[in-house]
Structure 1
Amino acid sequence: MKIAIAREAIEVGERRVALIPALVKRLAQPDWYFLLEANAGEGSFIPDADYVDAGAAVVADKAELWSNTDVLLKVAPPSRDEVNLLPEGSTLISFLNPLGDPELIKLLADRQITAFSMELIPRTSRAQSMDALSSQAGIAGYKAVLLGAAALPKFFPMLTTAAGTIRPAKVFVMGAGVAGLQAIATARRLGAIVEAFDIRPAVKEEVQSLGAKFVEIDLGEDTVAAGGYAKEVSAAAQQKTQAVLTEHIANSDVVITTAQVPGKRAPILVTAAMVEGMAPGSVIVDLAANQGGNCEVTDPGKDINYHGVTVIGPTNLPSSMPVHASQLYAKNIATLLQYLVKDNAINLDFEDDIIRDTCITHAGEIRSDRVKTALGISSEVQV
């Protein structure tokens, strides 16, 4: 079985790599042949020679590698041209943005590719070591605080000096998933006073265990979706949330927003009026920028100044820390690969929840009902 490690397209700004040499060496077994697209590890500071030492062969020609593989491992979703290079019946394991780009999923099905979407790994204890969304979200939460601290014209910790006492910065984290909890922990380590809000009341204890104050709002409706993710709430609930949070945002030096809804625009948590109510020099780091942003004035991929407030809209923070991001993602990929391969072939036991949930196309069929709905395809009709 030939397993290829793709080089990420430079133009999309992706610096991670799907598999690192240490895991190539660990996965090595009879009849597993690892192929590396030349310079695939360059963005993560891993030379081709390290892969060769681990047992992989380097292929300089992209088309040759992509068209002669059984399993292709990737980080960012492939382009249309790249999909057309894959041989029919091959397997692709990557982030695929299935709800954001259903047309890509249709193309994969049309090409008879068996595709596994890393976004769809179920949030269960059994699949925890494969959960790439969580491993990468933790990196984003950590880096978001560093961006906020670097942009804030103040210290984070309290300082007592001969010239006087400096009060600690106030950080408000909106959303207490993996990214939010890591942001809370990092801000606390830097000495800030931290408050946090999440529409899921069950995360209160986790927030408090990290030393932050939990802001409670009774929305009067169910706020938890399948898998423990936050659920999109009604317009009335959003208005109630904004009314309560306005004061907390105005009193914060740094606001970090993390709320996202798969396949939909991120909910607006911070309106333009709220931003205008913040003190000049304050900072907002919007981790939902790639889905339109939790802040009404966020410009995805840019840092802007809005009424004296710096609004940062990063779109791929894990890629800004490619060494450790690649290590974690590679571990997720390696664990899934070992789980999938039985007797030197991809196991497609669709009674298994990990395989059933993650495999999004197979044998010309789109397996996700949500993607079919987005494309206007009946759930009973194969592509």
Structure 2
Amino acid sequence: MRFVDEAEIRVEAGDGGNGKASFRREKYIPLGGPDGGDGGDGGSVYLVATENVNTLVDFRYHSVHRAQRGQNGGSRDCTGKKGDDCFVPVPPGTIVYEADTGEKIGDLTKPGQQLLVAKGGFHGLGNTRFKSSINRAPQQTSKGTPGEHRMLRLELMVIADVGLLGMPNAGKSSLIRAVSSARPKVADYPFTTLHPNLGVVRVDDMRSFVIADIPGVIEGAAEGAGLGLQFLKHLSRTGLLLHILDIAPYQSDETPVSAARKIIAEVEKWSDELAEKPRWLVLNKIDNVPDDELDTHCQAILDELDWDGPVYKISALKNQGTQELMYAIMDFLEAQRNSLEPIADEPV
């Protein structure tokens, strides 16, 4: 399914039903008095976070959502039926903005969560409501109020525990394929990933986490170059960033150190909050370096970067070192969830 992370929709709540003006007309009951009922309330529009929806693409083709109008009141003090509410399914992680003003209305983060975005109109009053000791036969009624009409901008931010960060062709898609059932496109050229991919990593029967792969970030992404700017926001909700570094890049003019520095610079330009997230360095494609040169090659990269955080050496393509990395991530995330201070693993 095509990934779409922004859409505009129009929501229209139902109008309230009008009140009824009528009088009781029965044989042998003279001067029966007013018996006009109230109208029904208009239906409201709700957005509902739904687990089996993972894209906003449907809103490109179905952009108007209406709730039902309330029925008018009837004779014999019959109240009109309330209009049915309209429930619009959206993916968890959807942020809702007023399209015209940019005001944030709400954030749907958990499956089943609902957000009222357009309130139905209030019902009108029948003439029974206006009866008094001095007005025994009122003709007065009131109309239902209009329901709210709004233009909304929906923005989807992928909810994942771990985000993959790196240059194009660093091996992010290969890693997510190796450790989960997600099947993003993989090829020997850059920019094979054009939209975020989510994968569920199960380390055992009872423990799992969600990992997100976004398009590769290039120099100038924070100013709009490439696809990275559009999707860097999806990493803001992750608990851990994996900085995937190709230790044998395909471009002769690009070194692992220069590639790493470009990524770090773009993340810092984009968001201080994102730059401060826990970040591990993952040295990928170790199968492209001779075994007797691997340790020296990796250490040189770490020394030049002055890196003192956790480091893992893997080959996503050959599935080397990936299992150990996933177990370490699971331990880290569990420590975060339990509000404990995570203990950084020693570099390997």
Greater percentage in helix = 1
TM over 0.5: no
- TM-score, with structure 2 as normaliser: 0.28
Structure whose alpha-carbon radius of gyration is higher: 2
